[in-house]
Homo-oligomer: A and B are copies of this chain.
Amino acid sequence: MKVVRVSIFGFGTVGRALAEIMAERGRRFGVELRIVSITDRSGTIWGDIDPLEAKEVKETMGRLSAWDEYEVFDFSPEELVQEVRPDILVDVSSHDEAFSMYETALKEGIGVVTSNKPPIANHYRELMKAAEEGGAGLFFEATVMAGTPVIGLLRENLLGDDVLSIEAVLNASTTFILTEMERGSSFEKAVEKAKEQGILEEDPSKDIDGIDAMHKAKILHWVAFGQEAEEVEVKGIREVTDARRVRLIAEVSKGRIRVQPKRLSEGSPLLTEGVLNAAVIRTDLLGELVIKGPGGGGKVTASGVFSDILKAASYMKPLR
């Protein structure tokens, strides 16, 4: 069985769900996955790491550096790659500047798997180039619709089709707020409730003003068209007063992204509830395709990350 060494960068909800999955299913498709380092805000532990113990330590002690079985290293992201030299680097952090860490890894032939949106949304072209240079795979299923495989569907399927457009609900927090408003709540009260339930960040602007949906739309645009969107218009949900059948919709067509609240017709596949995301993909040969599934949550996101790790581990390279 081929042994594949994995570094995990970030150890929040998704990282810990991933640890649990890797403990259970670390051997699949002729590959044995071993975690060789985990990094949280307190530092990097490096060695032969038991995923469940790491999860336990993090959950009881709050930080990995409190674990006295391991020396704790204060690596920069680039040093992490250079020192640990894993086979696969997994980023499940929300570190906005992770781009140069990926670039370093890919150029060294180290596969990169990530659920972190901004580095892919903003540096796709450079990263794909680095991946080609290093002969390594770059995988980012969980950046859009979490574990629901819309990225795999676009990158590894419909290979003869040309995408015409994508319309999608990519942010479930705004869906929560809008459905609360549909039930009679004010915008402010709905936002309060979303905060109470832990659905929104402390700075809720990323969700409410459409930034999160825009990052995801940019990634879809790169994958569907292989180029950057020139025109990007983003309008969040702050000005919505009548929320009936309104969702925050990302529209992606060649060269263009538009994120805005839209009133949908009864029975539209985009009229999602709860944590569901949905995308309507139109292509020239197939016509219209709908994919719908959960767009968030630790385990769901970790499912996408883990599937990507298995792809990277077996060197299956997407064609686009």
Query: Which residues of B are found within 8 Å of A269, using beta-carbon distances?
Result: 292
Instruction: Tell me if A314 counts as interface (CB < 8 A to partner B).
Output: yes
Are A307 and B157 neighbours in the complex by a CB distance under 8 Å?
yes
Are A159 and B29 neighbours in the complex by a CB distance under 8 Å?
yes
| Residue from A152, A310, A314 having most chain B Cβ neighbours under 10 A | A152
**Stretch of A193-201, A250-258, A293-301 on the interface side:** A293-301
Instruction: Tell me if A153 counts as interface (CB < 8 A to partner B).
Output: yes
Output the least CB separation between A158 and chain B (Å): 6
**Given A159-B307, A310-B159, A300–B316 Cβ distance below 8 Å?**
no
Output the least CB separation between A88 and chain B (Å): 14
The proximity string for A residues 287-320 relative to B, scoring 1 for CB distances below 8 Å and 0 otherwise, is: 1111111100001101100110111001011111
The proximity string for A residues 268-290 relative to B, scoring 1 for CB distances below 8 Å and 0 otherwise, is: 01000000000000010111111
Are A160 and B317 neighbours in the complex by a CB distance under 8 Å?
no
Do most interface residues of chain A lie in helix, strand or loop, or is the interface mixed? Answer: mixed
Are A159 and B311 neighbours in the complex by a CB distance under 8 Å?
yes
Instruction: Tell me if A149 counts as interface (CB < 8 A to partner B).
Output: yes
Query: Which residues of B are found within 8 Å of A288, using beta-carbon distances?
Result: 293-294
| Residue from A149, A160, A293, A307 having most chain B Cβ neighbours under 10 A | A160
Query: Which residues of B are found within 8 Å of A318, using beta-carbon distances?
Result: 316
Are A287 and B314 neighbours in the complex by a CB distance under 8 Å?
no
CB contact between A157 and one of B153, B160, B267 (< 8 Å): that residue: B153
**Given A316-B317, A316-B319, A319-B29, A160–B286 Cβ distance below 8 Å?**
no
Instruction: Tell me if A147 counts as interface (CB < 8 A to partner B).
Output: yes
The proximity string for A residues 1-43 relative to B, scoring 1 for CB distances below 8 Å and 0 otherwise, is: 0000000000000000000010001001100000000000000
Output the least CB separation between A247 and chain B (Å): 16
Separation of A290 and B269 alpha carbons in the complex (Å): 10
Given contacts A147-B285, A159-B311, A286-B300, 7 further A-B contacts (CB under 8 A): A28-B159, A29-B159, A29-B319, A149-B153, A160-B303, A160-B309, A286-B303
Which 9 pairs, one residue from A and one from B, show the smallest C-beta to C-beta distance? A160-B306, A149-B157, A285-B303, A289-B293, A152-B157, A290-B292, A159-B307, A159-B310, A29-B319
Can you report 28 residue pairs joining A to B where beta carbons are below 8 Å apart?
A21-B285, A25-B160, A28-B159, A28-B160, A29-B159, A29-B319, A141-B157, A147-B158, A147-B286, A148-B286, A148-B289, A149-B157, A149-B158, A159-B307, A159-B310, A160-B303, A160-B306, A160-B310, A269-B292, A283-B303, A285-B300, A286-B300, A287-B294, A288-B294, A289-B292, A290-B290, A316-B316, A316-B319
Please list the residues of chain A having a beta carbon within 8 angstroms of any beta carbon in chain B: 21, 25, 28-29, 141, 147-149, 152-153, 156-161, 267, 269, 283, 285-294, 299-300, 302-303, 306-307, 309-311, 314, 316-320
